[in-house]
A and B are shown apart, each in its own frame.
Chain A
Amino acid sequence: MDSLLNPNRPPVFCPGCAHDRVVHSLDNTFRKMGLSGNQIVIVTDIGCSGLFDTFFETHAFHGLHGRALTYATGIKMARPDLHVVVTMGDGGLGIGGAHVLSSCRRNIDITLLVLNNFNYGMTGGQCSVTTPQNANVGSGFLNRLEKPVDICQVAGAAGAAFVSRASSYEKELEDKIEKAIRFEGFSLVDIWGICPGRYSRRNKLSPKIIEAQLSAMPKLDNFMQQNLRKEYGKAYCEHIQVKTPAPAPLKIEKRYQPPLQANEQIVFLGSAGQRIITAAELVCLAGATAGLFATQKNDYPITVMRGHSVSELILSKEQIDYTGIEKPSIIFALAQEGINRRKKIFDNLSEETLVIKAAGVEIPATGAEVEEIDFKTLKIKTQDWALASLAMIANENRGISMEMLDTAMMQRFKGSILEDSRKIVSTIAIKYK
């Protein structure tokens, strides 16, 4: 195969820059693998390593600092057949650390070449996450305060199976890059090199020193055994094949006449676990069976298993504009948490408002008509009080009718849940016969 280097854009690195060697090693690797330019995308980070894509005639994506792996992930998921090679310096490694860790965990088939030259070459040689503590760099004394990271051990600990170290100057570099590209999963090659423009002016570093330092680094052999697993995209495809199909949005035909008193503003004041939101949804569904419009606004804390659960519903024969409750016609006062949350709602109510109050909860003084019900003596559990309350208004033909409620339950519930719900509704119907 021919070289994939761009004849119009030869590398422009500083004389003696290690990146230059890696460019040629990468090209030789592509050649050996017999790849053409449109089988490869080079995704580059920012800094000197971010110039790589311009020297090749391959698909290219040059993004923002630290984010190269994020684009590479999207591209690989969309085009699993492409060879995705990311070049990133030790700068990108630091700024995009979360993406490096996640790529290791995800094990998506991307090859990350870390062009590690121990400093930020492009901005003046400041310290990076790999700068030794005893180095002299453009960040004054600051690098002495921070420990450099060994990205290979970090990557292995984060779940990468293919992790290797290389010197820009070693003979095996091409071989290591090829193995990384051929590996089916996330692969990382930490390639050490000299930055003559900045780093080696003030720090003694040579290919020999790099070789010696690399050989003193911890071994990485265990990670392959420890972390080898199915590639992310392949695993994703397998999972979605066994997924149950998504249902189309439910369309409900109008089959009932709405009750005469159909325009209602209903407020549920309950607590977590009382299935307030589900009961309110039943009202929407029931409304739909009679061609009524409905809106449902919910309010609950982020700790969904504790605290208040409030739902505000409007049922109307007309299109609903404002979704707030201005004058509630029905309030279900089912738990103290919800009542305390909306105390003000009880102010200025007249007998036109019906409050259905569970025995044992306290509501503020109100001019509304209050009907108390002792669910406990009816052996209705607290999680069913909201549903039982709906049965009470359906029984009175307010907003919804019994047949509307039953059809809504059939849309929403199945099997034993439907049966149990029907029992609760009939308990109420018998009591108020």
Chain B
Amino acid sequence: MSYTVMEGNEAIGWGAIVAGCRFFAGYPITPATTIYNTMLKLLPDFGGICMQGEDEIASIGFCLGASMAGMKVMTATSGPGISLYSEQISFAIGSEIPLVIANVQRLGPSTGSATKGADGDIQFMRWGNSGGLPVIVLAPVDVKDCYELTVHAFNLAEKYRCPVFIAANKEISMTREVFDLDALNMPDIVERKNADPSRPFKPFDVSDGQYTPDFLPIGGETIVRQTSSTHGPEGYITTDSGQIGNNQDRLMKKIVSDVERFSFYESLPAKGAETLIISYGVTSRAVKTAVSRLGSEGLPVSHLILKTLWPVPEKVIKSIAASYNRIVSVEMNLGQYVREIQRILPGKEIEFLGRMNGELITPEQIKEVVNNG
């Protein structure tokens, strides 16, 4: 066993490299800047390209161009940058451009606090695109997760041809930790599925039962079209409502219908527990500490940590929550993901603990809610 000292952002950078990312473009912003620094240090050495855009819109635009030319790409920012990414995220969703976006959340709204953590963008990441189509959002708990989930994020982006967010937080990304690099649970690397170049190519064509179209890169032998307009299989603008409707359905289903294949979570049931705490991100660590203290004080409490936030892993939440009447939802905002929990667990008593003051929610606050409601 050996130990490595790394902060979350470095781990995201290394995870990207291991996943095959060879193009990064970003605009510096605290607390995401050290991802850019890491990629600038690593990518040239791995034969990759690292660029600094004139702004966030350009940075993600570079990524979309490079992705369509066949590269695995990533960008990183924080809330103010996600706001600027919005139009390009919509484009990546609608035109099926694989992309990983590390969102190192900081305290908002607006410019907010550059050096304070929060999980304030959880609904924003899901709904911050025009058209309202789904995205994939993975939330790391610690540095090890930053590494592993970044690899998963690339795999999912390539498999489903879509943007995938890593919902980090200043409190993970800029926290340095000792962990065992060799003990990481690394998935196999997934590559984008290329179309058979010997057959006529339509950039957005799918066969029966297929949701994600096969890919060919811009710049290859076969001519490839990409467009931000509502399009048919050939990649030309269309006004055919049948075609439009089918395409929207497909874009929805390709992400939502497969969520069970990538529902990452950690379930920590306690014998005799009547309460289940549901958390994600860095707050899960305070919950773990609180649960352990409550347990030693004679009150068993179960804990579910969600690492896939979007699409909502409904089956996981429903089945794990089934045997509890009381659910406590804890998150570092004023109440965002709790809305999903309320939605899918009707009839259960759902309590909420949230805080947005730039500080971590403490184990003692969690204990108090569990003890006193």
Nearest Cβ on chain B to A278's Cβ, whole angstroms: 11
Asked if A59 meets B286 with Cβ closer than 8 Å, knowing A72-B65, A73-B62, A326-B363, the reply is no
Asked if A99 meets B58 with Cβ closer than 8 Å, knowing A60-B235, A71-B64, the reply is yes
Q: Which of A9, A64, A74, A250 has the most CB of B within 10 A?
A: A74
Nearest Cβ on chain B to A92's Cβ, whole angstroms: 13
Say yes or no for B342: interface residue by CB 8 A criterion: no
Complex CA gap A296/B292 in Å reads 22
Complex CA gap A239/B40 in Å reads 12
Chain A, interface size category, equals 35 or more
Complex CA gap A301/B41 in Å reads 25
Candidates B3, B49, B226; contact of A252 at CB < 8 Å:
B3
* Pairwise interchain contact A321-B5, C-beta atoms closer than 8 A: no
* Pairwise interchain contact A63-B61, C-beta atoms closer than 8 A: yes
Complex CA gap A41/B226 in Å reads 10
Complex CA gap A285/B6 in Å reads 10
* Pairwise interchain contact A294-B289, C-beta atoms closer than 8 A: no
Within 8 A of B (CB), among A281-305: 281, 284-285, 287-288, 291-302
Say yes or no for B225: interface residue by CB 8 A criterion: yes
* Pairwise interchain contact B218-A59, C-beta atoms closer than 8 A: yes
Candidates A74, A287, A324; contact of B178 at CB < 8 Å:
A287
Chain B, interface size category, equals 35 or more
Complex CA gap A76/B237 in Å reads 25
* Pairwise interchain contact B57-A67, C-beta atoms closer than 8 A: yes
Candidates B54, B174, B219; contact of A101 at CB < 8 Å:
B54
* Pairwise interchain contact A78-B5, C-beta atoms closer than 8 A: no
Candidates B25, B175, B220, B227; contact of A62 at CB < 8 Å:
B227
* Pairwise interchain contact B177-A295, C-beta atoms closer than 8 A: yes
Within 8 A of B (CB), among A248-300: 249-254, 280-281, 284-285, 287-288, 291-300
- Residues of B within 8 Å of A64, CB to CB, are 87-88, 91, 228
Contact with B along A2-21 (1 / 0, CB 8 A): 00000001000000000000
Comparing B68-76, B269-277, B313-321, B332-340, the segment that makes contact with chain A is B68-76
* Pairwise interchain contact B178-A62, C-beta atoms closer than 8 A: no
Contact with A along B7-45 (1 / 0, CB 8 A): 000100010000000010100001000000000011011
Complex CA gap A69/B224 in Å reads 18
Say yes or no for B66: interface residue by CB 8 A criterion: yes
Complex CA gap A252/B182 in Å reads 11
- Residues of B within 8 Å of A320, CB to CB, are 177, 285
* Pairwise interchain contact A322-B51, C-beta atoms closer than 8 A: no
Contact with B along A218-251 (1 / 0, CB 8 A): 0000000000000000001001100101100111
Say yes or no for A153: interface residue by CB 8 A criterion: no
Complex CA gap A186/B321 in Å reads 59
Nearest Cβ on chain B to A10's Cβ, whole angstroms: 13
- Residues of A within 8 Å of B119, CB to CB, are none
Candidates A37, A71, A288, A296; contact of B175 at CB < 8 Å:
A296
* Pairwise interchain contact B3-A251, C-beta atoms closer than 8 A: yes
Contact with B along A372-413 (1 / 0, CB 8 A): 000000000000000000000000000000000000000000
Complex CA gap A249/B114 in Å reads 27
Candidates A62, A77, A240, A302; contact of B62 at CB < 8 Å:
A77
* Pairwise interchain contact A295-B62, C-beta atoms closer than 8 A: no
Complex CA gap A281/B49 in Å reads 30
* Pairwise interchain contact B2-A60, C-beta atoms closer than 8 A: no
Asked if A71 meets B362 with Cβ closer than 8 Å, knowing A41-B219, A251-B181, the reply is no
Contact with A along B126-163 (1 / 0, CB 8 A): 00000000000000000000000000000000000000
Comparing A50-58, A160-168, A198-206, the segment that makes contact with chain B is A50-58
* Pairwise interchain contact B178-A79, C-beta atoms closer than 8 A: no
* Pairwise interchain contact B226-A61, C-beta atoms closer than 8 A: yes
* Pairwise interchain contact B175-A295, C-beta atoms closer than 8 A: yes
B70 (CB) vs chain A CBs: closest residue:
A78
Complex CA gap A292/B71 in Å reads 39
Complex CA gap A231/B67 in Å reads 22
Complex CA gap A105/B176 in Å reads 37
* Pairwise interchain contact B66-A74, C-beta atoms closer than 8 A: yes
Say yes or no for A421: interface residue by CB 8 A criterion: no
* Pairwise interchain contact B285-A323, C-beta atoms closer than 8 A: yes
Complex CA gap A254/B3 in Å reads 8
Q: Which of B2, B4, B219, B229 has the most CB of A within 10 A?
A: B219
Say yes or no for A157: interface residue by CB 8 A criterion: no
* Pairwise interchain contact B62-A291, C-beta atoms closer than 8 A: no
Say yes or no for A33: interface residue by CB 8 A criterion: no
- Residues of B within 8 Å of A59, CB to CB, are 218-219, 223-225
* Pairwise interchain contact B58-A102, C-beta atoms closer than 8 A: yes
* Pairwise interchain contact B69-A74, C-beta atoms closer than 8 A: yes
Nearest Cβ on chain B to A216's Cβ, whole angstroms: 32
* Pairwise interchain contact B178-A292, C-beta atoms closer than 8 A: yes
19 contacts between A and B (CB under 8 A): A38-B219, A59-B219, A59-B225, A61-B65, A61-B227, A62-B225, A81-B219, A245-B45, A251-B2, A251-B3, A254-B1, A254-B2, A288-B5, A291-B3, A293-B177, A294-B5, A295-B175, A299-B115, A322-B360
Query: What would 5 more interface pairs be, CB under 8 Å, given A60-B225, A249-B4?
Result: A60-B223, A246-B45, A252-B3, A295-B175, A301-B115
